[in-house]
Amino acid sequence: MKRRTFGAIGLAAMLLASTAFAENHAPTLTVGAVAPKTGPLAGGAAVSYWPNVRLWIDDVNSRGGLMVDGTQHMLELIEYDDQTNPGETIKAVQRLATQDEADIILPPYSTGLNLAAAPIFNRFGYPMITATATVDDTKALVSQFPNVFISLGGAKPITEGVAQVLSDLRDRGDIGNRVAMVNVADAFGIELSQNARPALEAAGFEIVYDTSYPLGTQDLSTVIKGAAGTNPDAFVAWSYPPDTFGLTEQAQIEGLNPGAFFTAVATAFPSYQARFGDSVDGVLGIGGVDADGEAFQEYAARHEDVTGEKPDFWASAMVYSSFQALEQAIEAVGTMDNEAIIQHIKDNSFDTVIGTLDFDENNNNPAFWTVGQWQDGLFHGVASTGREGAAEVRARDAN
């Protein structure tokens, strides 16, 4: 923690110094970033979003800057806290565009805040490659805001991925047919569970327990007792960070230890592993990466080096890859002509830390990880819609 404080102070000093000196030496580009530093989503943004902003700025600047108009431009970062409040997100983007005259504005964090900010990004004409928004109907969104690109994937493929992974386990004889499912009662949990019900039933599973709990609930012993009472073969939770931790701990206490145990957001966080240690082995979670892949390994090492924190095994690399796509598009176009940059993103594919990023006709990235699993200390992607490097799913030692 100390290291991080010094890191932050050092970074601030560096930025101040770079503005002071850069004026004389090299031209600069202003980069704006808006995301939660406070409020309900601050914890997630602190893991998956902010470190990647700093890493990307550091990476670009340490290789000499961004090549625009034939000269190298150093990047200068302006950060705003939107307090997890969509109104604040919109205001901050507006401020970046009009007062700070930002050359580049990075997309905000989370589905809700990205959707809220899409119109204002569109109004000012900035490209917006979101890596933290779960959107199913990208066609409708993009026909309205053609500057928006979606890379994280949608609820339907994710739930189908879960159904597929569970089917694989069942077909191998590792688990039976009974699924206990719970969800956090907010937009994310409701949408995922609504998609999961038909997907699981189509795959021949019987949902023996199905309930929700309010956002922010951490006292989940009744929920886990209820699930354990139905003696399930698989436990699936569409959960958020505080409750992902709460459900996992409570399941261990209650001895709810089925052959497949799935929790959603935060399962891929390093702090999940730090808290639960070796007992995470075999736990399934939303998302994933090619954890053994050279690109990810190299990225993870740099992430830890520059920010002092480990990346998570899902959204972190997605966020960084979206910045890389933007960076490559800007350099390919060679000017800060946003319209041309947006067209370039539509027409080309990009080589990133998650592999090739290639948007389809609906500005949607069709290839993403849907399910991962903790295996021997790393969270490996085990199911995707076309990513390479999937590990084979393993059964947990059930009892």
Partner 1 sequence: MTDGGGMDIIITGLVLGGTYALIAMGLNLQYGMARIMNLANGEVLVVGAFVAFWLYTAGQVSPLLTLFVVAPLAFALNWLIYRFMLLPLVRRAKSQGQLEVDSILVTFGLSFVGVGLMLAFFGGDYFSYSYLARPVRIMGETYGLNRIVAFLGAVVIGGLLYLWLERTRPGRAMRAIAVDPKSARLVGIDVPRMSALAFALGGTITAMGGALLSTYLTLDASTGVLFTLKALVIVIMGGVGDLRGTIVAALLLGLLETFVAAWIDPGLTLAAAYLLFVLILLFRPQGLFGRKA
Q: What is the binding site for partner 1 (CB under 8 A)?
A: 1, 4-5, 8, 36-40, 42-43, 45-47, 50, 182, 185, 209, 211-214, 216-223, 225-226, 229, 241-242, 245-246, 249-250, 252-255, 266, 269, 271, 274-277, 309
Smaller CB distance to partner 1: residue 208 or 398? 208
Tell the smallest beta-carbon distance from residue 378 to partner 1 (Å): 20
Tell the smallest beta-carbon distance from residue 326 to partner 1 (Å): 24
Smaller CB distance to partner 1: residue 27 or 229? 229
Tell the smallest beta-carbon distance from residue 128 to partner 1 (Å): 23
Per residue, the 3-state secondary structure of the chain, as one string, reads CHHHHHHHHHHHHHHHHHHHHHHHHCCEEEEEEEECCCCCCHHHHHHHCHHHHHHHHHHHHHCCCEEECCEEEEEEEEEEECCCCHHHHHHHHHHHHHCCCCCEEECCCCHHHHHHHHHHHHHHCCCEEECCCCCCCHHHHHHHCCCEEECCCCHHHHHHHHHHHHHHHHHCCCCCCEEEEEEECCHHHHHHHHHHHHHHHHCCCEEEEEEEECCCCCCCHHHHHHHHHCCCCEEEEECCHHHHHHHHHHHHHHCCCCCEEEECCCCCCHHHHHHHHHHHCCCEEECCCCCCCHHHHHHHHHHHHHHCCCCCCCHHHHHHHHHHHHHHHHHHHCCCCHHHHHHHHHHCEEEECCEEEECCCCCECCCCEEEEEEECCEEEEEEECCCCCCCCCCCCCCC
Smaller CB distance to partner 1: residue 51 or 153? 51
Tell the smallest beta-carbon distance from residue 302 to partner 1 (Å): 19
Tell the smallest beta-carbon distance from residue 190 to partner 1 (Å): 10
Smaller CB distance to partner 1: residue 114 or 193? 193
Smaller CB distance to partner 1: residue 190 or 395? 190
Smaller CB distance to partner 1: residue 173 or 214? 214
Tell the smallest beta-carbon distance from residue 244 to partner 1 (Å): 8
Smaller CB distance to partner 1: residue 187 or 202? 187
Question: Nearest to residue 60, comparing CAs of 378, 306, 382?
Answer: 306
Tell the smallest beta-carbon distance from residue 246 to partner 1 (Å): 7
Smaller CB distance to partner 1: residue 307 or 328? 307
Tell the smallest beta-carbon distance from residue 237 to partner 1 (Å): 12
